[in-house]
């Protein structure tokens, strides 16, 4: 068992460490890089620091916000999205064991001990609607729901997305921003599916604008839609509505 006792050298180093993520080179007054790396490794073993990956460390408190900071440090330029963004905006209460970071290309999972980081590649075209919250980058409320409508599986399924949207009570600015994103997407099927999901929930002006944006509808079939029902307004075949 590793003792929690800190040597004088470890204490002095801990006092100089920057908050958040850092490399050995970013530690002030580090006379010997090799010795400093040894001290950092000892602090990791004593659970005073977290090693995010080789050469990258994190120093901070143990609150949930720390998890976001640690996760975003592993994907510079990325943003917190999907369920993690829903939680950040205060719409998800449960304790999250995974932080989702939207990236341009990076994908996969990273175990940081106590929680996982999931990297979700979105591509360059989807890098907008991002708010800088201090050291964090988080999708805006509207962009969060747009991403969830586009990839509902990443948010626990469309039923969970719609339940959360009902609780969120978006304001006029949020609905307007979401309307801009849906109008701009080249995917007609996404527009039709979103219209079907949001019908009766979104403001009527929003739905009318979405219909105009769609123009001539194609036939869209929802997955797992047996028995089949048809929604004429949105041109969508679907299963029973809960």
CATH, residue 33: 1.10.10
* One domain for residues 137 and 107: yes
* One domain for residues 66 and 140: yes
More confident residue, 95 or 109: 109
Flag whether 193 is in a domain. Answer: yes
Please tell me the predicted confidence (pLDDT) of residue 241. 60
Flag whether 3 is in a domain. Answer: no
Flag whether 201 is in a domain. Answer: yes
Flag whether 91 is in a domain. Answer: yes
* One domain for residues 212 and 185: yes
Look at residues 59, 79, 97 and tell me which one is the last residue of a structural domain.
Answer: 59
Domain of residue 227 covers 170-236
Flag whether 28 is in a domain. Answer: yes
Rounded to whole angstroms, the Cα distance separating 138 from 81 reads 6
Q: Average the pLDDT over 216-237 and give the result.
A: 84
Please tell me the predicted confidence (pLDDT) of residue 5. 67
Question: Could you give the number of structural domains in the chain?
Answer: 3
- Name the least confident of 15-29, 51-65, 78-92, 160-174: 51-65
Q: Average the pLDDT over 192-211 and give the result.
A: 96
* One domain for residues 50 and 83: no
Please tell me the predicted confidence (pLDDT) of residue 1. 36
Q: What is the pTM assigned to this prediction? A: 0.74
* One domain for residues 143 and 65: yes
Q: Average the pLDDT over 185-198 and give the result.
A: 95
* One domain for residues 35 and 12: yes
Flag whether 87 is in a domain. Answer: yes
Q: What does the block give as tokens for 118?
A: 């999931």
Nearest Cα residue to 39 out of 60, 61, 19, 17 = 17
Q: State yes or no: pLDDT of 59 exceeds 80.
A: no
- Name the least confident of 104-108, 111-115, 142-146, 148-152: 111-115
């Amino acid at each position: 068992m590793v003792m929690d006792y800190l040597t004088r050298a470890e204490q002095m180093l801990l006092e100089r460490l920057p908050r958040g993520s850092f490399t050995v080179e970013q530690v002030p007054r580090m006379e010997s890089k090799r010795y400093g790396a040894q001290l950092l490794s000892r602090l990791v073993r004593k659970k005073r620091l977290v090693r995010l990956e080789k050469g990258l460390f994190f120093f901070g408190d143990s609150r949930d916000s720390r998890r976001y900071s640690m996760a975003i440090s592993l994907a510079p330029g990325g943003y917190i999205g999907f369920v993690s963004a829903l939680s950040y905006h205060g719409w998800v209460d449960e304790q999250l064991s995974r932080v989702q970071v939207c990236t341009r290309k990076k994908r996969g999972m990273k175990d940081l001990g106590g929680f996982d980081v999931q990297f979700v590649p979105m591509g360059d075209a989807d890098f907008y609607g991002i708010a800088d919250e201090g050291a964090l980058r988080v999708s805006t409320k509207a962009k969060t729901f747009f991403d969830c409508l586009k990839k509902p599986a990443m948010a626990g399924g469309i039923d969970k997305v719609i339940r959360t949207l009902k609780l969120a009570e978006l304001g006029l600015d949020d609905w307007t921003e979401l309307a801009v994103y849906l109008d701009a997407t080249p995917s007609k099927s996404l527009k039709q599916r979103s219209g079907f999901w949001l019908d009766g929930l979104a403001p009527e002006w929003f739905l009318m604008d979405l219909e105009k944006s769609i123009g001539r509808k194609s036939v869209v079939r929802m997955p797992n839609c047996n028995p089949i029902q048809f929604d004429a307004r949105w041109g969508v075949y679907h299963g029973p509505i809960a």
